[in-house]
């Protein structure tokens, strides 16, 4: 249905380049970095929230900031699809604040897309948490529509196995190695109890989970827990963007089924082992995967515009 748009990666990616705003808003990257840094100082949730927002944006019709658009009386937007209701408000707030900071610079107002601001903010959040810094390709336009119905079947549920994950990422021009690298974004993430409760108690208790970790999670997530309670996805270094995610998988401490399957399936285990051992190799693979993710379904020319308000279609 969306093949030319969200699938196959790089439809409009040819126009992306590192210094895209050099002639218009030359300091855009430092302006965005400063805004993200201020937000990060207020709450660490900024990191996981922004990274996840970028992923959810790119996998639904491409990296076009359509996930940031608010619903109206006659349109239910992407962000109000059930799969997006758990996106933390801090990610949206990061984009809105960075956009305001860019618009406050003479010459930059309404010249930089929300899609590019989200791509830059994601890079900055990762670096602030100690992850690899990388050059971001720029030149995306903002999408002209945002509908909840377009989200169906585009995002991986925590129940996906390796084949399902690999196929969904392949539809977006990403390899299995890219998928495994991007999954490690969970090193700075949080998850609500209902996304993994089936793995920690009852008849479907997951044998691939460390019993000690399961006991710890049962304490954090008692049977009638407040649905708003969230748990750090990396219990060892929850505030560092690092390769601990892969070491956790080796120890049966992947929080979601779709995390642990990367180790329990013998086909993906060698990459997990290799990145658990080498943070240099992981960082390199992660930067490659993020760059490819940022090229998915890019809008150019008449397919997009530069939104004046990231939450409202022009």
Question: Is 29 assigned a ligand-binding role in the annotation?
Answer: no
Question: Is 5 assigned a ligand-binding role in the annotation?
Answer: no
Of 33, 39, 52, 56, which one is the catalytic site residue? 56
Helix (H) or strand (E) holding 118: helix 114-128
Cα 157 to Cα 27, 152, 161, 162, 312: the distances in Å are 38, 11, 10, 12, 28
Question: Is 234 assigned a ligand-binding role in the annotation?
Answer: yes
For the chain, what is the largest distance between any 2 Cα atoms, rounded to a whole number of angstroms?
61
**How many residues are given for the chain?**
314
- Measuring CA to CA, which residue among 235, 310, 245, 313 is closest to residue 53? 310
Question: Is 288 assigned a ligand-binding role in the annotation?
Answer: no
For residues 126 and 109, the answer to whether their CB atoms sit within 8 Å is: no
Question: How does DSSP assign 162-203, residue by residue?
Answer: HHHHHHHHHTTT--HHHHHHHHGGGGG-EEEGGGTHHHHSST
Q: Does the annotation count 56 as an active-site position?
A: yes
**Token pair for residue 155?**
């995002």
For residues 289 and 167, the answer to whether their CB atoms sit within 8 Å is: no
Question: Is 137 assigned a ligand-binding role in the annotation?
Answer: no
Question: Is 64 assigned a ligand-binding role in the annotation?
Answer: yes
| Beta strand 142-143 pairing with 304-305 | antiparallel
Question: Is 166 assigned a ligand-binding role in the annotation?
Answer: no
Question: Is 142 assigned a ligand-binding role in the annotation?
Answer: no
Question: Is 223 assigned a ligand-binding role in the annotation?
Answer: no
By annotation, the residues acting in catalysis are 56
Instruction: Give the residue ranges of the annotated binding site for heme b.
Output: 186
Instruction: Give the residue ranges of the annotated binding site for substrate.
Output: 156
Instruction: Give the residue ranges of the annotated binding site.
Output: 57, 60, 62, 64, 66, 78, 156, 186-187, 234, 237, 242
Instruction: Give the residue ranges of the annotated binding site for Ca(2+).
Output: 57, 60, 62, 64, 66, 78, 187, 234, 237, 242
């Amino acid at each position: 249905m969306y093949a030319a748009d969200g699938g196959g990666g790089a439809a409009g990616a040819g126009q992306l380049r590192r210094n895209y705003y050099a002639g218009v808003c030359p300091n855009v990257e430092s302006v965005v970095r400063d805004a993200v840094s201020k937000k990060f100082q207020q709450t660490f949730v900024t990191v996981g929230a922004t990274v996840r927002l970028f992923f959810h944006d790119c996998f639904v019709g491409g990296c076009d900031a359509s996930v940031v658009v608010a619903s109206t009386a006659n349109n239910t937007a992407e962000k109000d699809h059930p799969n997006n209701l758990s996106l933390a408000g801090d990610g949206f707030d990061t984009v809105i604040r960075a956009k305001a900071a860019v618009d406050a610079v003479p010459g930059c107002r309404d010249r930089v897309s929300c899609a590019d601001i989200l791509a830059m903010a994601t890079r900055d959040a990762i670096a602030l948490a100690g992850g690899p810094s990388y050059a971001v390709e720029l030149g995306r336009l903002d999408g002209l529509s945002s509908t909840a119905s377009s989200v169906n079947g585009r995002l991986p549920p925590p129940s996906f196995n390796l084949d399902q994950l690999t196929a969904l990422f392949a539809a977006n021009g990403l390899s299995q190695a890219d998928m495994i690298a991007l999954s490690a974004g969970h090193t700075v993430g949080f998850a609500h109890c209902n996304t993994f409760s089936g793995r920690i108690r009852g008849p479907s208790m997951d044998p691939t989970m460390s019993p000690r970790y399961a006991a710890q999670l049962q304490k954090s997530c008692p049977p009638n827990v407040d649905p708003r309670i969230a748990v750090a996805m990396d219990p060892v270094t929850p505030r560092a963007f690092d390769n601990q995610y892969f070491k956790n998988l080796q120890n049966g401490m992947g929080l979601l089924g779709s995390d642990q399957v990367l180790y329990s399936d013998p086909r993906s285990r060698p990459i997990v082992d290799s990145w658990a051992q080498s943070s240099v190799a992981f960082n390199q693979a992660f930067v490659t995967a993020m760059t490819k993710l940022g090229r998915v379904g890019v809008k150019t020319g008449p397919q997009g515009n530069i939104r004046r308000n990231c939450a409202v279609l022009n």
